[in-house]
Amino acid sequence: MSNAPEARARRPSGRRPIMLREIREEPERVATLIDRESAGLQKALQRLRESPPPLILAAGRGTSDNAATYGRYLFEHFAGIPVSGAALSLFTLYPAPMHLKGALAIGLSQSGESPDVASALQAARRAGAFTLAVTNSAGSSLAKVAEHTVLLHARKERSVAATKTYVAELVAMAMVSRALAGEPRQREIERLPEFVRSAIECEAEIERLAAYYRYAPRCLCLARGFNYATVRETALKLMETCYIGSTGMSAADFLHGPIAFVEEDTPVLTFAAKGPTYPFMLDLAKRLEQQGVDVLTFTNHREILAHSALGVHCPVRAQEALTPVPFATLGQLFACHLALIRGLDPDAPRRLKKVTRTL
């Protein structure tokens, strides 16, 4: 195993991380996205609003797949339309005709240059689906094969770890849900920049708490419902910026076996939003507290903090369906500050490039 400095991707001394600067841009970028893309998206999906598609196919890799997972909860809950996550190898390595006539196919890629995502969207269009691209690049391969494109307006993202582009993808999914089903309401979507600012205001507390996890070898990230996407994304951020073995999973699935994996040096991160999933998350916090498990909770409802070893209260008064947007920012800030505390460079994780191309 190499001990060379470059193998650890250590942080250049004294440099302010680009990742932090880009996280702090999120409120402005989200506001621009909502302002510039809402009307066009409403018009593009008007036919599907009047005659709902039988299926929504969502295609994305990595971070974009986590945004697609959030979209699934939105579309199935508010529109009642079943959602299938595209198995991309079935479009590239094992191509076969797909019965997608009348469906809505959504391709998500921040760069728009994921060949398998573009291939899936192109095949869906040939099969009779209405195709929608969600990307940060108007001239990308993905945008060229779609019938309508939602531009993220995140501007150039320099840090390898996606932050403002991921949050923008989440907002785009909420906007698609609004265009299809009328929910979440436009006035609630327009408050999302405010909610993200509230998350950023928690940065000092997050930085303080991150120090407790400097030597953590692994961790689990748990939530239910809409924030399942949040824990998947937070776990990914911890792996790529902090090199911590981490898994994001449903808190319900956690009780069906993985709870046995937890040891004294296995911290558990939970995201508990006020709403239908909150009572379950509160009961889980109490159970883990009794078992001596180290739990760090991110929440917008203080009660659960009494049963957590550490916690961050983010005072956003949002319906649970929209909490993954500010909660994603909380997870990003935690991963970034933990990487810095561990002496790593969150802007340039080892072995990673900004654009990953897979077929």
In order along the chain (359 residues), what is the average pLDDT of each group of 10 residues?
Answer: 41 73 98 98 97 97 96 98 94 90 97 94 97 97 97 93 96 98 97 98 97 93 98 96 94 83 85 97 94 94 96 97 98 97 85 55
Type and span of the H or E element at 248: strand 245-250
Q: Can you give the pLDDT at residue 1?
A: 32
Decide if 137 contacts 153 (C-beta within 8 A).
no
Type and span of the H or E element at 332: helix 324-341
Which residue's entry shows tokens 């974009």? 64
Decide if 178 contacts 186 (C-beta within 8 A).
yes
> CA–CA separation, 227 vs 262, rounded Å?
21
pTM: 0.93
Pairing of the two strands 268-272 and 130-135: unpaired
Q: Can you give the pLDDT at residue 2?
A: 35
Domains and CATH numbers, the chain: 18-190 (3.40.50.10490), 195-341 (3.40.50.10490)
Q: Can you give the pLDDT at residue 355?
A: 53
> CA–CA separation, 206 vs 213, rounded Å?
11
